[in-house]
Structures are given as C-alpha cells and as structure tokens.
Amino acid sequence: MAKLYFRYAVMNAGKSTQLLQIAYDYEKNNKRKILCLKPYNDTKEGDYIISRLENGEIKRKCDFLILHDEDWLFNKLVSEINKAKECKNPISIVLIDEAQFLSKENVWDLARIVTEYDVPVICFGLKIDALGNPFEGSSHLFALAQNIEEVTTRAICRISRTPKKATMNLRLVNGQPVFQGEQVAIENDKDIKYLPVCLDIYMKLKQGKIKLQDYI
C-alpha cells in the first residue's frame, strides 16, 4: 500500500537536494514516470525546484504548480494518473517541495490520492515559520502523514560556536534578526535572508541577550 510521507527540516538542510535525488533515481535509473510539484505561492524559483550545492546547482522544472482551490489538486492528480495509465507508463510517485505552503484541502487531497489510487506521495517542507508558528500545510501533514521523518543532513546551527542542531529559521531583514511580521516572506538577494539556528541562539537573539554581529 502507498503512503503519505512528510520529510521536514529547517531551511538549507538538504530537503530539495533529497527530493531531486529521489526524482533522478526514479527517472534516470529506473525509467519510471513521476510528478514533481510545489505550491504556486512559493515564488522564489518560479516553476523550478532548485538545490544549491557547493559545486553548483541542480534543478528540475515542476510538472505543474499546486493551487489552493478545493478539490483542485485531487482532480488534477487523478487526470494525470489516468493519462499516464493510458500511455502504459503509470505514475510511480508524487514528490512535493515547499509543502509548508500547501493548504489544508491540498493535504486531504493527497491523502485521497494515496488511499484511493495507491500512488505514494512524499512531501518536503518546513516544520515552522521564522516566528516559531506552524504552517497550515505542515500542521496537516503532521496530522495525516503515515511516515514522518526529520531531514538532518545539513541541519547545523549557522551561528553557534559549538556544533548544535538547527531547529529554528531565523529571518534577517537588511542583516538584522526580525521576530514579527508576515508568516511568508520569500528569501531574496536584496533584503530578506534566512539562517538555520538552534533554539538557544534563537531565544537569546529574540530576548536581546546576544547580538548577531558578535557571532557572524
């Protein structure tokens, strides 16, 4: 039986890299059809999933972007599944990046695909936002996913002077930590950036006990 999977982590921990590796293994090594998707409101890379590595970047274009309309994702996936079957090349797996941006209805649609059509779905996303609050998509994936796993490949605090696991996403606006504002603020090359940090550093910065410039 297929399952709904949720792989979560802080930013820059290797989620997209893992997704693209799975996609490569299915498509190139096993010659199997897959779908790679992400929500429409992740605007950072347009309709691409991109992983930036030390020696360059790898990317794949999304098969389509996910809308939030009720039943839209279910109907779209059913259409794709049926078309693939007619071509004698059934869909083996659905991979979703930036799954924190899914709506509640999207997650229920994925649960239906898994249980009614026996197609596995793996979602990759953040657990919480930079304010420490859960995302709608993530909270419902934690509720419905049958297999939940933390991605810790590169989840190391970028500020602590001793190795610590990063569990929080620190938002920087013009180089300064920010702990209020909108839930979604897409990282860009100008004023908004994010750093994965441990809870200890996050809390000390939030409470004003330390200054960021003393650490980086």
Q: Calculate the CA 51 to chain-centre distance.
A: 12
Catalytic residue list:
98
Distance CA(76)–CA(108), nearest Å, equals 14
Q: Cβ distance 179 to 202 under 8 Å? A: no
Tokens of 135: 């995302």
Distance CA(103)–CA(139), nearest Å, equals 10
Q: Which of 158, 163, 162 has its CA nearest to residue 202?
A: 158
First to last CA, the chain: 48
Q: Which of 99, 108, 199, 113 has its CA nearest to residue 151?
A: 99
